Amino acid sequence: MSLLEVKNLKIYYKTPAGPVKAVDGVSFKVKKEEVFGIAGESGCGKSTLVHSLILRKPPMEHAGGEALFKGKNLMKLSPEEARKIRYTQLSIIPQYAMNALNPTKKIKDIVWDLAREHGHTNRSEVEKLLRERLAMVKLTPKVADMYPVELSGGMRQRATMVVSTLLNPDLLIADEITSALDVTTQRVVIELLHHFMEEDIVKSIIFVTHDLALLDKIANRTMILYAGKTAELGPTEEIINNPTHPYTQLLLNALPRMGVQYKKQKLKGIPGYPISLLNPPKGCRFYTRCPYAMDRCKDEEPPLVKVGEEHYAACHLLGGESQ
Amino acid sequence: MKELLKVEHLTKTFTSGLIGGFEIRAVDDVNFEIKPGEIVSLVGESGSGKTTIGKLILHLLTPTSGRILFEGKDIMKLSKKEIKKNYYRKVQAVFQDPFASFNPLHEVDRAFDLVFNSFFPDVSKGERNDMINQALVQVGLNPSEVRGKYPHQLSGGQLQRVLIARSLLLKPKLLIADEAVSMLDASTRIDILNLLGDFRDKYGTAVLFITHDLALGYYISDYTIIMYRGTIVEMGDTEKVFHNPLHPYTQMLLESVPDLNVKWEFKGIEPEKEEGAVYSIQGCRYAPRCPRAKDVCFKVRPKLRELEENHWVACHLYGGE
């Protein structure tokens, strides 16, 4: 069963020079009880994609496609409907989660405002839940009575995670939430997300990151985005061990890992830079950097083809039959 | 071979608070050396003091106590003129945010003008041009794509290459790279690292690679220094530190690195206990978090001891007083 089904979604940014096609025809499903990873470089549209599901605002524009969440098209919700499902069904931990909390309010007041908006009437019950959850993320329940500035970065991050998940959303979006953290703190955050799933606080998670090695640790399935399009999609293990798109292959080869040293084995990056999304070429968006680029790559867009069990990639090398 | 840079009992204290403020020993009695042509990575989490050490070596901060010897001379005793004319000619730096290193109102070429005006004032314009183009080609850039452009027209990776090209012009003895690749994408990051390696291979430039990313440190460096809260907990040949980590902190750090070849077990790691007083602990600063801490750890600061050749650790588990 899928919780979220995104079909051919297009999200553009309106600019005087024309639309910037940040997300251009992306399709995927998020199943119940899975962590779905989205990976890509800066500017590939990964943040735009997830933000469009929950916080779409100008200059971000819905330019086509749909996102069905529990049967409802998120692209067509009224502001009132969107407000209602936020936090209770669909929630996000934003990238700068450390600074996402209102600095003038105590944690318990932030939480009470939120709960009240969603129809809770018993304040002491909500606060009891807050203290329980704080304990779950190994913060002292006293944090409820503190202001966000009184907490260190790592603690604030955990407090934000508690606030975002307090009303047990079905789908939690985590957008680069560990990028600014130390490796040890990052590991704690990943453990906590895992725990949230186990405790059934959230049903599914979309985990957005630039770090493939991290997805390897947490995501069941992974989508690799490149310049607003899906390059490859499949079970994370398959993507890591058996990548089929040249971009995924080169990206994995560029990752340092234990045991690989400059002196013995030089890794190679991907030459060149991503294309501009203002007027993207008709064909494959990776062709400018692809060592295997052929004539047709420039003009013909490669369709997403099935390359294995639940494993898809968009590259002319893999054949041209549309799925 | 004699060392290029020697840091002796280096300490830097910051005072915070206006009246009766408290002291933070950001760097506390740190000793290490960099040999000519050696790539040393200085690894630590935020608050470990790694950037402060970089700034101290760059003469941007004044140490509270201790000495920094470059080619045998105490850099604090150099005159302002010597620092500007000689020291910065030999010691260069590349920082984390390439966008912050450029003035957005000027073309990127201006970054080179500053170098020429300070160090090669007599070079003719034509020669200048050739030198710049040559340096840009060496870092893998096409001069026509870069010159005359404004910083916002280039990507972070390109800008970082321009900065490295600028250092390359001077052929410095020591390059301080403070998180120089942290902001770059995985697909360009490794090429910048390779550039630092090539640079060393060609010109014998030593590099102090300051990073929080263990995998990058492992990839590029000959020697590794692990810091925790202002103190060195372990240092040695990179292979030895990574394959035989001795300090409990190093072990925990290595376990936390998401490595492609290793699966994680979810066993519930204890989150860091916030220890405001950690900087005033008499003993080992890692003791409050250490699962193997003994009484002595809180009372006596363990000294760095050489447990095997070129592998030092500061931990009471391995003896010492």
| CATH value at residue B186 | 3.40.50.300
Q: Where are the alpha helices (DSSP H) in A57-199?
A: 79-85, 107-117, 123-136, 153-165, 183-198
- Do residues A176 and A187 make contact, with C-beta atoms less than 8 angstroms apart? no
pLDDT of residue B145: 84
- Please check whether residue B62 lies inside any domain of the structure: yes
ipTM above 0.90, yes or no: no
Average pLDDT over every residue of A229-238: 96
The string of pLDDT tens digits covering residues A122-151 is 999 999 999 999 988 888 889 999 998 888
DSSP string, A49-112: HHHHHH---TTEEEEEEEEEETTEEGGG--HHHHHHHBTTTEEEE-TTGGG-S-TTS-HHHHHH
As a whole-number percent, the residues of chain A with pLDDT over 70 amount to: 98
Distance between B80 CA and the closest CA of chain A, angstroms: 37
- Measure CB to CB from residue A187 to each of B155, B189, B269 and give the nearest one: B269
User: Is A294's Cβ below 8 Å from some Cβ in B?
Assistant: no
Contacts of B186 in chain A (CB under 8 A): 41, 210-212, 251, 254-255
pLDDT of residue B19: 67
- Let me know: does A243 contact A212? Beta carbons within 8 Å: no
Q: What pLDDT was estimated at residue B167?
A: 87
What digits encode the pLDDT tens for the residues B267-298? Answer: 665 666 655 566 677 889 999 888 899 999 99
User: Torsion over CA of B249, B253, B254 and B259, rounded to 10 degrees?
Assistant: 170
Quick one: average pLDDT of A114-124? Answer: 92
Backbone angles phi, psi at B270, to 5 degrees: -65, 125
Q: Taking a C-beta distance cutoff of 8 angstroms, is the pair B302, B284 a contact? A: yes
Mean pLDDT confidence for B107-123: 88
> For B38-76, what is each residue's pLDDT tens digit?
999 999 988 889 999 999 999 999 999 999 999 999 999
Give the separation between CA B22 and CA A143, rounded to whole angstroms: 24
Q: Which residues contact A132 (CB under 8 A, 6 or more apart)?
A: none
The Cα–Cα gap between A290 and A281 comes to 14
Res. A322: pLDDT tops 60? no
Q: How far is CA B27 from CA B31, B51, B164, in A?
A: 10, 10, 28
- Sign of dihedral through CA atoms B62, B63, B66, B68? negative
- Residue B152 inside a domain? The answer is yes
Which two structure tokens, joined as six digits, stand for B311?
């592998």
Report the number of distinct structural domains present in chain B. Answer: 1
List, for residues B158-172, the tens digit of each pLDDT value: 898 899 899 888 999
**Contacts of residue B80, Cβ cutoff 8 Å, sequence gap at least 6:** none
Mean pLDDT of B237-264: 89
Q: Which of A137, A151, A263 is the best mutation test for B, with the most CBs of B within 10 A? A: A263
**Segment among A105-109, A152-156, A199-203, B176-180 with least mean pLDDT:** A152-156
Q: Which of A195, A256, A269 sits opposite B216 (nearest CB)?
A: A256
Look at residue B288 and tell me if it is in a domain. no
Indicate whether A309 pLDDT > 50.
yes
Is A59 an 8 Å CB contact of chain B? no
pLDDT digits (tens, 9 = 90+) for A239-270: 999 999 999 999 999 988 888 899 889 999 89
Q: Report yes or no: A250 and B186 within 8 Å, Cβ to Cβ.
A: no
Mean pLDDT, residues B149-157 taken together = 87
Parallel, antiparallel, or unpaired for β B311-313 and B231-237?
Answer: antiparallel
Query: In terms of residues, how long is chain A?
Result: 323
Question: In which domain, by residue range, is B204 found?
Answer: 5-244
At B224, list the tokens: 């590794």
Res A323: pLDDT: 41
Cβ atoms A210, B186 nearer than 8 A = yes
Per-residue pLDDT of B194-225, as tens digits, reads: 989 998 999 999 999 999 889 999 999 999 99
pLDDT band for position A4 (cuts 50, 70, 90): very high
Output the pLDDT for position A245: 96
Asked if A278 is an interface residue toward chain B (Cβ–Cβ < 8 A), one would say: no
**Contact B218/A258, CB-based, under 8 Å?**
yes
Q: What DSSP state is assigned to residue B83?
A: I
* CB proximity A208 to B under 8 Å: no
Q: Rounded to 5 degrees, what angle do the CA atoms A149, B288, B42 make? A: 80
For chain B, the first-to-last Cα distance in angstroms comes to: 32
Q: Is the pLDDT of residue B257 over 80?
A: yes
Separation in Å, CA of A250 to nearest CA in chain B: 8
- Inter-chain touch A183–B259, beta carbons under 8 Å: no
Element (H, E) at A215: helix A212-218
Of the candidate ranges A57-66, A175-184, B247-256, the one whose mean pLDDT is the lowest: A175-184
pLDDT at B262 over 80: no
Whole-number average pLDDT of chain B: 89
Alpha carbon of A193 to those of A158, A197, B167, B223: distances in Å? 10, 6, 43, 35
**Token pair of A88 as six digits:** 């209770």
Whether A131 contacts chain B with CB within 8 A: no
C-alpha to C-alpha distance for B235 and A264, rounded to whole angstroms: 21
Separation between Cα atoms, residue A142 and residue A304, nearest integer Å: 51
Does any domain span residue B25?
yes
Confidence check: pLDDT of B231 > 90: yes
Residue B15 pLDDT more than 60?
yes
Which chain B residues are Cβ-neighbours of A44 within 8 angstroms?
A: none
Tell me what pLDDT residue B32 has. Answer: 96
Does residue B138 have a pLDDT over 90? no
Residue B320's pLDDT band (boundaries 50, 70, 90)?
Answer: low
Residue A194: which residues within 8 A CB-CB, separation 6 or more? A218, B266
The strands making up B22-34's β-sheet, listed across from edge to edge, are B22-34, B5-16, B65-70, B73-74
Region of residue A32 (left: phi > 0; alpha: psi -120 to 50; beta: else): beta
Which residues of chain B lie closer than 8 angstroms to A252, CB-CB?
Answer: 260
Q: Which two tokens stand for residue B138?
A: 């060496």
Q: Domains of chain A (ranges plus CATH)?
A: 2-89+172-179+205-318 (3.40.50.300)
pLDDT band for position A230 (cuts 50, 70, 90): very high
Using a CB-CB cut-off of 8 Å, the residues of chain A touching B187 are 41, 250-251, 254, 269-270
In a domain? residue B310: no
More confident residue, B241 or A274: B241
* B118 domain residue, yes or no: yes
Write the CB contacts of B263 (distance below 8 Å, at least 6 apart in sequence): A217
CA–chain centroid gap for A249, Å, is 21
Please report the pLDDT score of residue B276 as a whole number: 58
∠ at Cα B214 (A98, A289), nearest 5°? 85
Per the domain annotation, does B296 fall within a domain?
no
| Residue in A closest to B193 by C-alpha | A262
Contact B233, B227 (CB under 8 A): yes
Q: For chain B, how big is the Rg over CA atoms in Å? A: 21
Chain A residues whose CB is inside 8 A of the B219 CB are 256, 260-262, 267
The count of other CB atoms within 10 Å of the CB of residue A243 is 23
In a domain, residue B206? The reply is yes
